[in-house]
Chain A
């Protein structure tokens, strides 16, 4: 039994209503832990004063420079003592999840036991970077908690100017749209940069994310310095049984309004089943005896919409791989940036393919480490130096897939034009 609760009238109102309540969870923990009694006391104070009371500091585990988020209370009385002394330290361990965030109940129970013993008992599945966040340990217990978690096969994630914890979608494990083995790519890449995760020494954070198709369920394009997003090069695959099943259920109005009209490049049409075009870049499938869908794959931008609507009836092609986009981030400092295309397509099937992905990542991180200003993300660095300088450093040729349109101003020195044309021509011949 723990000490009596502090009054928490404001937090108490968050125990009403149908959605699961984190306050009820904290109160359950507070039955056994003075620690959580005081955490609730401080949180109630924040609700009352509308102020936060945690400050950072330096707490870590032996051998690592990051992965623990230290929190010390700033809520002190007149003599400088913590108002809630049992919650004076409330550090978080960021722990990397398995790809796709799959768990057995066996491992979850073991993680819970470790955290109940050494920490507050509060766990967030998962933080915005993908970490399992073990929230609330004293300075003394951080090492013990880590030792127990580490012994279960889990390792700390990133914090500060480091390669960060990554996420990948459910992918090949349970999704028909998966275009590469997300989990293997995720592990191969991240486990190649463990030193850069555990010992922060970059200009700023560097994030990878892995999404199996352009639906980008990991939101990688706006959250990752290097986004690996699955795609395919050949024709959309079709399955007549499933296409007919869709049409029988939804009819022509929905087929036209929800599928054909919504294609961003008008690559898909409804045609007379007897007049379907044939050709190496045409996909077609009958939806009933008289109508068919016909897709000119040269016009398709692999947006996923028609495949999402007629899942299985239409499917990604067989020549699968990924597009690599670099530079996504949120506002600070220069404003929001989406990742932009650096590699339009690369195969990700074999160990060798994945090694190439690691090599590219290493090149990007090395260049970032050398050239970014302090607290500058890759997207901001590229904005400052221009994409062309970045591509030159990477040894990647310019490709029209990297732009929405060519430049709209003449402010560029082009006296290298002829040499560049000759270089491209020579490369084509070779």
Chain B
């Protein structure tokens, strides 16, 4: 075989799967693997773990923009080489952590990170970085941006990231469609479409697998139809719940609208089993405009909820625990948000969310 032929042949992938993390562990983590005794937090943004054998490690957590250019990653690597023996890890909320073998490195590292623009915080009862999605930067079905919404909101919540002043930890998420890749959170910001899809009937037959699209609709509002002599799909707009489920399998059913795709705000999602069982979040506001580049109307509602919670909740109450105690009428009263008929569930299983009792708060 000639050299040219060898080069033309595609390289076969090494199906190595998930890499072993042992090679990437800080030596102190490797040494004390599975043998930690307790931790405390000497200051916001710093975790101090103590192993059964007496070893101690200080982890300094800093916020990042998640979508990072290679220069930013290299800058973080330089910092890790200088202070953290050349190892880092990332949290589920895109914070970076530097593990330090010596306590005296903590203060200089924090100083360096802050000077380079990386806020130190996100631990314990702080507002951590927002779990988010792709948005206009990369998604094929986004109703809005993700990184921009997050940047705008984290600018406003910057001090809450750096301090531990909340009753308990606060997790936020944003999602640029109702699929909600951002996930459950104490406060979630999610696109809520308010009009049925606009259908380009010229394209449906060629682009969409029509039975699959019909099957995708949660309320059976889509049916095959001939429109202008072409096979297409039509939507029963009285039934349509504007969820956008038909849009990914059938892009000619455009659900995103610059005006009518709004934001809704949800509260009280919790994944942890601590205290109450895990909970789904509940919609408490909707109809907020999609207003780039800084989405001020959304920030205002989020901050209103957040600071009402901060003021009123007791220590260790997550947002859902707080509402459990004060009740939904008081939640709406204290936050000043209107309780509308749209917040009464009518989807399957909705009866479980109705008040089947005389437990009334006055």
Contacts and interface: CB of A to CB of B under 8 A. Distances in A.
Interface of A: 10-11, 13-14, 16-23, 25-26, 28-29, 39, 43, 46-47, 49-56, 61-64, 69, 71, 90, 92, 96-109, 112-113, 115-116, 121-128, 135-136, 143, 146-147, 150-151, 153-156, 166-167, 169-170, 172-176, 178, 181, 183, 186-187, 190-191, 194, 197-198, 214-223, 229, 239, 242, 254, 257-258, 262, 264, 301-305, 308-309, 311-313, 315, 330-336, 338, 373-375
B245 interface: yes
Contacts of B30: 173
B23 interface: yes
B18 A190 contact: yes
Contact of B151 (A22, A28, A100, A106): A22
B181 A128 contact: yes
A338 B276 CA distance: 14
Contacts of B99: 174
B1 to A, nearest CB: 18
B109 to A, nearest CB: 14
Interface centre among A102, A155, A214, A254 (most CB of B within 10 A): A102
B154 A19 contact: yes
B92 interface: yes
Given A13-B294, A186-B18, A311-B39, A331 B145 contact: no
Contact of B18 (A105, A109, A155): A155
Nearest to A125: B90
Interface of B: 10-26, 29-30, 33-34, 36-40, 49-50, 57, 59, 63-74, 76-77, 80-81, 86-92, 94, 96, 99, 117-119, 131-145, 147-148, 151-152, 154-155, 158, 178-184, 212, 215-216, 218, 243, 245, 251, 256, 258-259, 261, 269, 271-276, 278, 280, 290, 292-294, 314-316, 347-349
Contacts of B86: 104-106
Closest 7 CB pairs of A and B: A312-B38, A17-B155, A50-B258, A25-B69, A46-B136, A62-B10, A98-B21
B341 to A, nearest CB: 19
B68 A176 contact: no
A22 B89 contact: no
B274 A214 contact: yes
A125 B66 contact: yes
Contact of A216 (B36, B135, B273): B273
Given A50-B292, A125-B73, 20 more contacts: A25-B71, A50-B144, A52-B142, A62-B11, A69-B138, A97-B90, A101-B91, A103-B87, A103-B88, A105-B88, A121-B71, A126-B92, A128-B182, A153-B16, A173-B21, A187-B20, A198-B15, A221-B273, A258-B315, A375-B212
Given A112-B74, A332-B179, A98 B19 contact: yes
Nearest to B14: A150
B273 A303 contact: yes
Contacts of B183: 128, 219, 222-223, 330
A19 B19 contact: no
Interface centre among A39, A103, A116, A181 (most CB of B within 10 A): A103
A51 B145 CA distance: 9
A52 B140 contact: yes
Contacts of B36: 172, 174-176, 178
B256 A52 contact: yes
Contact of B68 (A25, A105, A186, A218): A25
Contacts of A334: 218, 348
Contact of B66 (A124, A146, A330): A124
Contacts of A333: 216, 218, 245
A150 B278 contact: no
Contacts of B216: 333, 375
A148 B354 CA distance: 56
Given A52-B140, A52-B142, A304 B272 contact: yes
Nearest to B15: A194
